[in-house]
Chain A
Amino acid sequence: MLEVRGLSKNFGGLKAVSELDFDIVEGEILGLVGPNGAGKTTVFNLITGIYSPHEGEIVFRGEEITGLKPHEIAIKGIGRTFQLTTLYNNCTVLENVIIGNHSKLKARLWSILWRTRSYSREEKEAERRALEILEFIELSEQRNTLAQNLPHGYQLRLEIAIAISTDPKLLLLDEPVSGMNPEETNEVMALIRKIRDKGTTILLIEHDMRAVMGLCDRIVVLNYGRKLAEGTPQEIKENKEVIEAYLGREDDFA
């Protein structure tokens, strides 16, 4: 579904990502892990067009998307969340999700000014769809709360809700369970599985090892911008290089 080939990105002299290759298979949950500064978020920003790579290409569903603008990539069907929770803070939860619907709406300037029937229908449809997403993500009760007043766990959920409101084929989640307690983590893990089961492929950055091991079908491990290992959670757990580079030496891993 997504092929990354020879991807490199430098910041000054620092090779944030170098010659990275990996594939995402349709319908899977792929984990992207690695120590802090390994280049995981940079990979996200390269895929979503916030950065353009120095070398390499990114092919999404048979189409090259390298160098497209972020909104063009979003319209092609790649949704994402951000490492630092990013919401429309001064809008209500429902408004947040309706704004996310933007690319699905077609109304022309004329029909907006004239309030044509097709426009009103589309607006109602957008609200209905947003409520449906809130129902799915279990945030319906908070729909009239301002996003900035939500507790942290709900904010992370709302971020996912905004991302899926664009109806993405591929969803990139940047630390979706960071700062959550075990119970909340379980809930969000179940939610992520539910999103996958509805037909969305997922690429996930996460530090919470329990979540990564429990959720992912496959895992790609980055270290210093390079791919260190790739495989099933079981394979990754047993990979000596990964254990040394990422988890530290065996004796101080408890």
Chain B
Amino acid sequence: MKDPYRLHILILTMLHIILALGLSFVMNTAQVPLCQAAFVGIGAYTSTLLVMRLNFSFWLSLPLAGLVTAICGILIGLPTLRIKGIYFAMATFAFGEIVRLIFIGWVSLFGGANGISSIPPPNPIEIPLLGTVKFQTKVPYYYFTLVVLIICLTVIQRLTQSRIGRAFTAIRESELLAQSTGVDPMRYKLFAFAINSLFAGIVGSIYAHYFHFIGPQDFTFWQSVEYIVFVIVGGVETIGGPVLGSIFLTFLPEFLRVAVEFQVVIYGLALILVILFMPKGFMGLVFKIIPKFSKS
């Protein structure tokens, strides 16, 4: 647990899981947004600016970053969620690019193409029994991200099991039937979108204060596509899907020690194989295998 490289990969994986969880929530309402990285960016820049310009504590800027991103999500969701399929994807793609261009263009605020460096780590925090925790090594980051991940998992799991999750299922399966039983599709799509952008904003905040540097190249369209690949490879319909997909696709390239350029090839291959051979993702495969074991 002391090996910083391994810890780094684990932290990255957990951040990816949170992003994939939020995305799967939106994708469960049959919409595929291509602006996840923009949300992460909004969260990252919001948190950074709050801390560096206004001297906010990280512990306040983290929830605020989530909140600001969620509000952005709602504002962009209101017009775009009315359209479907490829048109929705294109509208969110455009939004993502606009956000990135603003990061590049507004130099005085966002630092332009150079980004913002020397972002301070989270302030030391007093925790009962543990004493003061300082963010000097990767270990506290690891545990902190783990706590956030567990909270996000719990939130998603409880929502999924409730009438809200059932409304999502209904909308995915048949929007027409859902409406005829009193489900307002727009309201639930917007809710899913807000939760997703909230998660992305929180991830962005952690990301900025963990890497101490952010720039527009961290929040590109390809990044957004990568997160979608995590969800599709893992499987959309269950919570396990995005978790498995993120773990697999974050670990695999690292373990294979391949150059960054090949990472994209691996994602592409994984995506094609999954779509061809397991349309429900890894989780679909797991659900197929389990009954076979329990019978024998």
Using CB atoms and an 8 Å cutoff, list the residues of chain A in contact with chain B. 48, 50, 69-72, 74-75, 79-80, 82, 86-91, 95, 98-103, 105, 107, 109, 112-113, 115, 119, 123, 126, 162-163, 165-166
Contacts and interface: CB of A to CB of B under 8 A. Distances in A.
Dominant secondary structure of chain B at its interface with chain A: helix
Contact of B177 (A88, A90, A119): A88
B128 interface: no
Contacts of B52: none
A179 to B, nearest CB: 19
Interface string B181-211: 1111100000000000000000000000000
Nearest to A105: B163
A79 B180 contact: yes
B180 A89 contact: no
Contact of B170 (A88, A107, A109): A88
A48 B180 contact: yes
A119 B164 CA distance: 12
B49 to A, nearest CB: 29
B174 interface: yes
Contact of B169 (A48, A69, A86, A91): A91
29 contacts: A69-B179, A69-B184, A70-B179, A70-B180, A71-B182, A71-B184, A72-B184, A74-B180, A74-B182, A75-B182, A79-B180, A79-B181, A82-B177, A82-B180, A86-B176, A87-B173, A88-B174, A89-B174, A99-B166, A99-B167, A99-B170, A102-B163, A103-B182, A113-B155, A115-B158, A162-B177, A165-B181, A166-B181, A166-B182
Given A70-B179, A79-B181, A102 B158 contact: no
Interface of B: 155, 158-159, 162-164, 166-167, 169-170, 173-174, 176-185, 237
B182 A112 contact: no
A111 to B, nearest CB: 9
A231 to B, nearest CB: 30
A98 B166 contact: yes
Nearest to B166: A99
B159 A112 contact: yes
Contacts of B178: 71, 99
A162 B183 CA distance: 13
What are the nearest 4 A-B pairs in CB distance? A103-B182, A70-B179, A88-B173, A74-B182
Contacts of B164: 109, 112
A123 B165 CA distance: 13
Contact of B180 (A80, A98, A113, A123): A80
